[in-house]
Structure 1
Amino acid sequence: MSDQVKSSEQDRLERLGSLLSGSRAQERVGRALGQGGSYSNILLGALLHGAERVRRGKTPTDLERPLLDALRTVVSEAELKQWGLTYRNLVDRQGSLAMVPERITRLSVDQGYSIADLKQDFRGLADEALASPNVQIVDPFDVAAGKPEDPAFIAAMRDTRIAVTGYARPPQVAAAVAGDGVGQAVEAVGGQDTGEDRAAAESFPVKLVMDEFVVARAVGDQWGGRDEIYWTASTAAGAGGHSYVSQEFGGLKKGDSRRFNSNNVLYQGNSTGLVAAHISVWEADQSSEEWWSALKGALNTAVKLIDGQLSALGLIDDLFGGFGVPLWVTIGFEVAKVFVATIDIWRNYDDLSCSRLIGLERQDLAVLSHRGHATWNFNGDGHHTLKVVWGHTSVVPFPVRTLECAQLTGDTWGAPVSLGWKSITPPALASYNGKLYAAFVRPEDHKVMWTRREGHQWRKPEPVGSDNSIFAPALVAAHGKLFYAVTGGGDSLWWRTFTESGSWTPPQKFEGYNPGIAPTMAAFSNRVWLTHVGTDEKVYLNTHDGKQWSGAYQNNRNWITENPVAMAATGDHVWRIARGLDGKVYTTTSGGTSNWDEHPVHPTWKVSKGVGLASHNGKLWIFLRDMDGYLRAATRTAAGPWSAAHYVSGTKKIPLQGEPSAASHDGKLYVMYTR
């Protein structure tokens, strides 16, 4: 191989031509670029078309310019123009190219390809990228629970040696519109809140460290070079990039693990959002200084295309707004293919085993910082699992007054996941028709909003009709419907039902009732049980038999409380648990009659707000905002007693405002609250 460690300009142009023509379609790089359809490799095409336009004295477009600037980090200006000429000669000779979409090759040299053109093509490009087996959108709850990566995704990356990972994010809440029903249906309340519905971006420190890797399948060098691998990475977070090259690791076999030396910082700096990391593992052979220079240039520019220049041109943030899949994933997939093509054209004999582009937004960094580490697979010529740890002394702060959710899988709590939606009240949570529903109150106009979790994404929150409140809504599934209740203005109590086929029914008012705080509901004994606390701080109950509501009656235990009364059904009883005026936790149960049996007051528990209740896997779960302001959970069976109350989500304490809400759904337990 000693005669092959350098590549000349002529070598690179010949390899570029063979790659574009499709004659290398069955090689690894050909398989990587050959994915997709009529939009695939649109950035590679724009780069080459822009190079030809520069050669012909044309001014590059706003999209061509950053792509050409990236190429200039690895080739001279003269060679850049030769890349354009090679591309144009092939188009003139063949009419079409296997690796460049026709929407690029059909352009004359006078026609550039701009950001505006990319926006027009982006929906098709995104559909193709998201359909690729080596592009994954991960459920943040799976990450928070430490769930391993999808085996199908791990297998798919082996064929092309590239992969892109993004994390699903909640869609934004629609902004309030002037005159959007305020004062209609449910009476409006005064005191408008001027806060925005999503938290404003703020800077926070990030430190990601390459900790160790495990060999799941060893790399084999077919050319007989050194049996060694090394890792490279480039990361950026909107304020400059950081490149990384590890030491070499030799003598590796299946099952071995190796730790990185002290030079192991993947990224350290501040971020306001996306941290993009381009990480690769290579098989080490003889390398020229020319190659190392080209590699470092490519590493530093690949991520910048996503994180800096393209986003600065207005592409990343303004296309789909509330789209639940991060937009950068599509651009990232295209940039990853440009990177692989560039590396191949440079005749890399430090064989690329596998390369991944991973984007971590604030939500994902917060989850990682609470969990402490992440494990990512690199399945190419070899298969390695990389462990990256959170290296900063503080965790990424979740935005204040936003909704968060933690998920219990088996016996283990995952890290909290921020939904990003602001609420002036605690949320409501219920499982209905195979989906998890949530409701909350938007700050700026006190509009009650609803959403549901579909697959691994949340639906964009929408108003519940014209309902307004300053109190938390209540949800419960019963009689084939989702029941909803809310306290409106003027101490009024309202209810609706929802079905997926018919949406929300018109609001109906409980006449003659004067609730002072939020209602709660539970389903038990083929009835909906609704508890509300009057302005007299006494506890009242109504039940619905599927046809109509009963009249209200007062709790026979004569409770007095200033907080909502939690409700849940488990076994042969319905439970009501409340915070007394003394801060202690009081419990009553009913077997389905109007009589409530009181249980002993817990000897040690004191809470600063009301509690949350849910039945899950044969146990009753209680969620407490302790006097220290942090979220705890305890369980009991029907026979009792209560277990000790432990912090939810392990050692990382979760602060919350108001009462938590919980629901069992799809074999998991969810607790939602306002940070």
Structure 2
Amino acid sequence: MVKRILVLGLGLAMAWGAAGSFGAAPTSAAPAAVQSQWSWQDQGRSVTGSSSTVSHNGNLYVFTRRPDGNLWVNYWHENAWHWQDQGRSITGSPSAVSHNGNLYVFARRPDGNLWVNWYDNAWHWQDQGRTITDSPNALSHNGNLYAFARRPDGNLWVNYWHENAWHWQDQTRTITGSPNAISHNGNLYAFARRPDGNLWVNYWHENAWHWQDQGRSITDSPSTVSHNGNLYVFARRPDGNLWVNWYDNAWKWQDQGRTITGSPSALSHNANLYVFARRPDAKLWVNWYDNAWKWQDQGRTITDSPSTVSHNGNLYAFARRPDTNLWVNYWA
């Protein structure tokens, strides 16, 4: 595993540098074809559930589960979209991360264990050796790689790569659902809903892990983002509305004023803050901040929570639509 991780970045760059190295024929249109407006594009294949999107080495990758149960990747390379079967079945949603020039995808497989799919002149799979009960959340922080997940004891655990070895650590508190982790101002934070219904944060600060109750209940997994030096956590609360819990010298809560269904997806893009979510009309909406908070209907229905990414100056939101295909709503 050590040698594979060290050479992954070089192998990936070489393999993907050849035209047509991977997968099927591209879909018809490119995201950059339309300028300065929102557009929708059908990615041409059906998916089952939410995706994980990552910008890596100048290319855009969307990892998702398809009806055959396998992990697939839909990627943008050399001005075309391609699809590739990653060859193993997964359960739930994957979590992709770019780390030290390499690309990793964490997911739960049918044996219940956490697995990682990574590239080293070819795609490889590795069993991380422990069972998890929900979709993981992976991130890169201070040169190390972390995957947070709920295990059968109900606790939050972290599987991390440090000093050339994988380790597991029990974070000692129970959670419900999937966590959402972020690296912010040199510290590591994992937000999750606990059995009391409240949003909690498990954070690493001054060489120790701490837990803190954020003081309000939420109903689904949160979405976190670092923006302009501040930390923001978006989640659905029991009133059905989207709320934001943010830190600016103190923790604060604000009602964003509209109902949503499921988990939101937040990101920072070109100095503005965006939150995408499905609303009760089943459409994708965006709540964004540009000197004031605004809401906009993106005009199409979706069936699961979206996955968002900022890539090469453009903004993308991927989601499953009622025809079951993966679609992208992009600003370019």
* TM-score above 0.5, yes or no: yes
Give CA deviations for 1:592-638 in whole Å, capped at 9, x if unaligned: 74x332333243x522x3123343454444343555778x4747356
CA distance in 1, matches of 2:306, 2:255: 15
Give me the whole-angstrom Cα distance separating, in 2, the residues matched to 1:644 and 1:636: 8
The answer as to 2:233 corresponding to 1:612 is: no
1:231-242 to 2 correspondence within 5 Å? none
1:395-474 correspondence to structure 2 within 5 Å:
419=43, 421-443=45-67, 445-454=68-77, 459-464=81-86, 466-474=87-95
Select 1:545's aligned residue among 154, 162, 168.
162
Q: What is the total number of aligned residue pairs between the two structures?
A: 261
SS in 1 for 2:254: coil
Equivalent AA in structure 2 for residue 430 of structure 1? V
Secondary structure of the corresponding residue to residue 473 of structure 1: strand
Counterpart selection for 1:522 from 135, 139, 142? 139
Matched, 1:636 2:246: yes
CA 1:497–1:579: 2 relative to 1, 3 Å: same
Instruction: State the Cα distance separating 1:428 from its structure 2 match.
Output: 1.1
Secondary structure, aligned partner of 1:325: coil
Deviation at 1:468, TM superposition (A): 0.5
1:49-64 maps to which residues of 2 (within 5 A)? none
The answer to which structure has the higher strand fraction is 2
One of 166, 170, 175 as aligned partner of 1:560: 175
After the TM superposition, which residues 192-203 of structure 1 pair with which residues of structure 2 at under 5 Å, given as runs? none
Task: Determine if contact 1:426/1:657 at 8 Å carries over to the other structure.
Answer: no
Alignment partners' CA distance in 2, 1:472 and 1:480: 23
Partner of 1:110: none
Partner Cα separation in structure 1 for residue 221 and residue 80 of structure 2: 27
SS at structure 1 position matched to 2:133? coil
**What's the CA shift string for 1:123-176, capped at 9, x where partnerless?**
xxxxxxxxxxxxxxxxxxxxxxxxxxxxxxxxxxxxxxxxxxxxxxxxxx97xx
Q: Alpha-carbon deviation of 1:446?
A: 0.7
Contact 2:29–2:41, Cα closer than 8 Å, also in 1? no
1:431/1:663 contact within 8 Å kept: yes
Does the Cα contact within 8 Å between 2:179 and 2:222 map onto a contact in 1? Answer: yes
Q: Deviations over 1:79-102 (max 9, x none)?
A: xxxxxxxxxxxxxxxxxxxxxxxx
Q: Deviations over 1:541-585 (max 9, x none)?
A: 1211373212x11113x1231x11111111121111112345432
SS at match of 1:652: strand
Normalization by structure 2: what TM-score?
0.65
Equivalences for 1:68-83 in 2 at 5 Å? none
Alpha-carbon distance in 2 for matches of 1:414, 1:618:
28
Residue pair 1:424, 1:470 contacting (<8 A) in 2 also: no
Q: How many angstroms apart in 2 are the aligned matches of 1:526 and 1:540? A: 19
* Percent of matched pairs sharing the same residue: 18
Report Cα offsets for 1:272-321 as digits up to 9, x if no partner: xxxxxxxxxxxxxxxxxxxxxxxxxxxxxxxxxxxxxxxxxxxxxxxxx8
Match of residue 203, structure 2, among 589, 596, 615: 589
SS in 1 for 2:178: coil
- Check conservation: 2:237, 2:243, Cα contact below 8 A: no
2:144 alignment partner AA: R
Counterparts in 2 of 1:417 and 1:324: CA distance versus 1, 3 Å: closer
Please identify the structure whose Cα radius of gyration is greater.
Answer: 1
Matched, 1:531 2:148: yes
Unaligned residue ranges in structure 1 (runs of 5+): 1-172, 175-320, 327-362, 364-373, 377-408
* Alpha-carbon contact 2:174-2:195 (below 8 Å) kept: no
RMSD, aligned CA? 3.7
TM-score (norm 1): 0.34
Q: For the Cα contact (< 8 Å) 1:430–1:475, is it kept in 2? A: yes
Q: Does the CA-based 8 Å contact 2:117-2:125 persist in structure 1?
A: yes
Do the aligned partners of residues 573 and 507 (structure 1) sit closer, same or farther apart at CA in structure 2, a change above 3 Å counting?
A: same
Instruction: Tell me if 1:601 matches 2:214.
Output: yes
Q: Distance in 2 between matches of 1:626 and 1:448?
A: 31
Query: Is the contact made by 2:198 and 2:213 (CA closer than 8 Å) also made in structure 1?
Result: no
What is the 5 A alignment of 1:227-306? Answer: none
Map of 1:106-255 to 2, 5 A cutoff? Answer: none
Check if 1:324 corresponds to 2:28: yes
Q: Is the 2:52–2:63 Cα contact (8 Å) retained in structure 1?
A: yes
CA contact (8 A) 2:175 2:192 kept: no
Q: Please tell me whether the aligned partners of residues 612 and 661 of structure 1 are also in contact (alpha carbons under 8 angstroms).
A: no
Q: CA deviation at 1:439?
A: 0.5
Q: Which residue identity does 2:184 align to in structure 1?
A: T
